[in-house]
Amino acid sequence: MSYLLSILMGIIQGVAEFLPISSSGHLALFQTFFGMENMEEKYMFFTVLLHFGTLISVCVVYWRDILDMIREFFLGIAALAGKDTGTPPPPARRMVMLIIVATLPLFVMVLLQDAVNALFSNSIMVSCALLCTGFILFFSDRLAKGRKTARNATLVDAVIVGCGQALAVIPGLSRSGTTISVGMLRGFERSFAVRFSFLMSLPAILGANILEIKDAAEAGFPVEELPMYLVGVAVAAVVGYFAIRLVKSLSDKGKFGKFAYYCWAVGLGSLIAGIVKLAMA
């Protein structure tokens, strides 16, 4: 590990985690075409730390929403204990419930983890998924502007967006692109679709990394490389912050589909490369 590699991996993590270009798809293609199959295992602990770096960026951008939701979570528990005044729950409390419901479909994908992991070695499937991501992004800008926010979004809306998030564990399908687009399809305001997508990523990313911490701890890491790791985490957090800002800005302007052309280019290029590789095998 070097500082240059640490910074580079931090930049890639910050960009790919939030821009709708599928970080898992890019990882799978790099592993296939550039012989990087052992990169994630070699730096497992560093990979976990990088994900926490991008969690920091979400918390920085949406710190007010997160504080409101934490407060309303405990107030909601008090209401369930019999102290409810009968007034409608505030938007922050409804947001907590929506995120909880939207996270539930991910538990189904845990049962299919082995099958999903097997897809990483199938470059043709990953390429097709990237092409699909491009179409999802392209048509998302052409959806009618919705009006739903945390005040009137339903649990059914949350489940459907959550199913989009669960489906996006397939390498090549962008988590942020899919969930934002499905949200807009369900009538979410563009800004709310983006905010809901990134806030619902918190339990998803945190839960996935908690499951990996044990394996990462067992794999260990050289203590002398900790400063390099921390530099990468800081870079991932900073780059992730600006990536979120960029997605918010483009979505608000109805230019979210600009990323579609990139996904099409990478997907088509990798598809052709994958077919050629198979033909030459």
Which segments of the chain are extended strands (E)? Answer: none
Average pLDDT of the chain is: 83
Answer yes or no: is pLDDT of 49 > 90: no
- Going by C-alpha positions, the residue among 266, 240, 115, 237 that lies closest to residue 176 is 240
Is the CB of residue 147 less than 8 Å from the CB of residue 189? yes
In the chain, domain spans: 3-79+89-280
From 134, 169, 166, 165, select the one nearest 271 (Cα to Cα). 134
* Prediction pTM value: 0.85
Residues 195/91, Cβ–Cβ less than 8 Å: no
pLDDT confidence of 27, banded at 50, 70, 90?
A: low
Task: Give CA–CA dist 179/162, Å, rounded.
Answer: 7
DSSP string for residues in 233-264: HHHHHHHHHHHHHHHHHHHHTT-TTHHHHHHH
Tokens of 106: 């991910």
CB under 8 Å to 240, separation ≥6 — which residues? Answer: 13, 14, 15, 17, 18, 53, 54, 56, 57, 58
pLDDT computed for residue 225 by the predictor: 74
- Average pLDDT on 10-38 reads 73
Q: Is the pLDDT of residue 239 over 70?
A: yes
